[in-house]
Structure 1
Amino acid sequence: MEHLHELHALVARHGREGPTETPVKGLTLYLETDPDVVAYVVHRPVLALIVGGGKRTVLGGRVFDIGPGDYVAVSVDLPAAGQVTGAPYSAVTLDLDLGMIAELISEPMAPTWGAAAGVEMNKAGPDLLDAMFRLVSLLERPQDVAVLAPMIRREVFWRILQSPCGAMVRQIALADSRLSRVGRAVTWLRTNFAEPVRIEHLANLAGMSPASFHRHFRAATAMSPVQYQKRIRLQTARARLLAQPGDVAGVGFSVGYGSPSQFSREYARLFGAPPARDVANFLEARAATPGAGN
């Protein structure tokens, strides 16, 4: 498709392995070359456009096989696991600016349909690809970023609102929508994941009854609140251990586990090996990779 090759070249020129932040607000470049690595992340509300290679991603309880020209829109903070299926894999992501989107949905020509979910995938149309290309191209002309980036970001969000993902994106910008209210509880869980979960408290944050909250939370995340909290705890623990291997029990305690055996058991269930072995395997694989750590 038009602009995909140019976008792939821009990511290769300005990005590095993994995520690369840019001077454009909310814009991140991704470049991944190792098909043996399973990456665990938590996606904030974001638009991700794939411009090269391929990847299998488990997000919001669904499996997505994504390739060039696909885009994924995420409405709430969602844990994800991804593995490259076609290297090099490259993508650009743009954080969803809820304030800007709220302004756009007040426009007379804004779409008004209302169904919503936690994550959607579609093929990017030519208008969206063109806007994203012009936004990423600003990295070649940094003197233009301050003036042109806000206008092009606004256009990107408008194109998304006009797309099949528009209903979901519209919902997260409406302060009293069910998706927005669930998002308040999700934000609390992300920030306070080490604290005990009280469903009544989360339901109160969302302005719902506990039964209604459970239903809408699962619709948005494909998990119960307790499952969501557990995933955030374990992914945070793994990130801490990989960054600074050492006190496994202490890390487990820091993310909310009172029992080292329970922490080890649930960690192994998610990542395929107990904490110490998983970290050792990761460090061995990194040491065996030419250029790793450089």
Structure 2
Amino acid sequence: MTALSTLVDLISRHAADDGLHSTAIPGVSLARAAAPTVAMPVVYEPTLCLIAQGRKRVIAGGRSFVYDAASYLVASIDIPVMGSVIEASEREPYLCLVLDLDMTALSDLALRHPAPADRSAVPAAGIELNDTSPELFEAAVRLARLLDTPQHIDELAPLAVREILYRLLTGSGHGVLRQLANADSRLRQIAKAIAWLRGHYTEGCRIEDMAEVAGMSRSTFHTHFKAVTSMSPLAFRSQLRLQEAQRLMVAQAVDAAAAGYRVGYESPSQFSRDYRRLFGVPPAEDARRLRQEAPVALS
């Protein structure tokens, strides 16, 4: 069996049902879908998404990323996206290994294995696709195989995760990860501001507040924020608000007006306009549709 077919087998056995499944390995989840899914909002945190079978589309700030087993996705910041499985069937379901990025291990590896300095003042994008190498699949198989021998996870999983991070750092798409590992990089400064924003998005925070957290001037912050997220800071905040409002309406049956108010909107009409612009339909109609369809949560 090739590394890819072995990974398909491992994920199939440990994620027998559709959905996103946590595992006994810290920071590792497995995703499965036996059919294409509707686009659903989710906030990606720093993570690696390695597809073994099927295909997925992720939209962030108007940019579309379509990937499968030939390429992996890395999210380097907390970023709201719309994600949908676009290729999957009962016979060949979508299967994906999701790994949370360990910043301590990543930073240590970056110091041990330095690369030529990147002189670009522009931070890397918050989401990137890169070609998947055979070595990366082999490392992923070594990690996933530990699910068959849970007694070895505590000792061997950190080594397998470290190998995966090493493959990412030394592969062709290492730029974003090296910027993420560098505490002084523009990407890390933007990531710090985004983390603050996720805790304050229901408030009337200003761009100046976010820029101060990032340690940048207002104009510099706005430029670098858009380079990383493909969104302006205020558009990013709006998407966080609207995704949370959708969750409140679907999961807690909160009515549209109350949901808009709870996420920071003072005007119901403005909430409805922004919601329709992002999701394509009015909030109450969208909530009814999603409750009926009962979408499967996937990374």
What displacement does 1:60 show? 4.9
TM-score (ref. length: structure 1): 0.92
1:129 paired with 2:137, answer yes
- Cα gap change, 1:121 to 1:36, in 2 (>3 Å): closer
**Mapping 1:82-231, distance limit 5 Å:** 82-87=83-88, 88-107=93-112, 109-114=113-118, 116-231=124-239
What displacement does 1:2 show? 3.1
Q: Structure 1: 5+ residue runs without aligned partners?
A: none
Q: Could you tell me whether the CA contact under 8 Å between 1:74 and 1:118 is conserved in 2? A: yes
SS in 2 for 1:80: strand
How many residue pairs get matched? 287
SS in 1 for 2:54: strand
SS in 2 for 1:101: helix
SS in 2 for 1:106: helix
Deviates most, 127-136 or 109-118: 109-118
SS in 1 for 2:219: helix
CA distance in 1, matches of 2:61, 2:141: 28
The corresponding residue for 2:56 is 55
SS in 2 for 1:257: coil
1:70 paired with 2:71, answer yes
What displacement does 1:158 show? 0.7
After superposition, the C-alpha distances for 1:161-199 in whole angstroms (9 at most, x for unaligned) are: 011221110111211110000111111111211011211
SS in 2 for 1:35: coil
Higher relative contact order (CA 8 A, sep 6+): 2
Q: 1:253 aligns with which of 261, 264, 276?
A: 261
Q: Could you tell me whether the CA contact under 8 Å between 1:194 and 1:254 is conserved in 2? A: yes
After superposition, the C-alpha distances for 1:122-177 in whole angstroms (9 at most, x for unaligned) are: 12111111111111111111111100001111111111001122111011121111
CA distance in 1, matches of 2:290, 2:19: 16
| RMSD, aligned CA | 1.8
- Cα gap change, 1:219 to 1:161, in 2 (>3 Å): same
CA distance in 1, matches of 2:8, 2:40: 20
Q: Could you tell me whether the CA contact under 8 Å between 1:160 and 1:166 is conserved in 2? A: yes
CA distance in 2, matches of 1:139, 1:151: 14
Letter in 2 for 1:73: V
SS in 1 for 2:32: strand
CA distance in 1, matches of 2:8, 2:248: 31
Q: Structure 2: 5+ residue runs without aligned partners?
A: none
CA distance in 1, matches of 2:201, 2:35: 30
- Aligned-residue identity in percent: 41
Letter in 2 for 1:177: S
CA distance in 2, matches of 1:34, 1:192: 36
SS in 1 for 2:161: helix
What displacement does 1:36 show? 4.5
CA distance in 2, matches of 1:235, 1:47: 22
CA distance in 2, matches of 1:132, 1:113: 28
1:34 paired with 2:26, answer no
Q: Could you tell me whether the CA contact under 8 Å between 2:69 and 2:132 is conserved in 1? A: no
What displacement does 1:11 show? 1.8
TM-score (ref. length: structure 2): 0.91
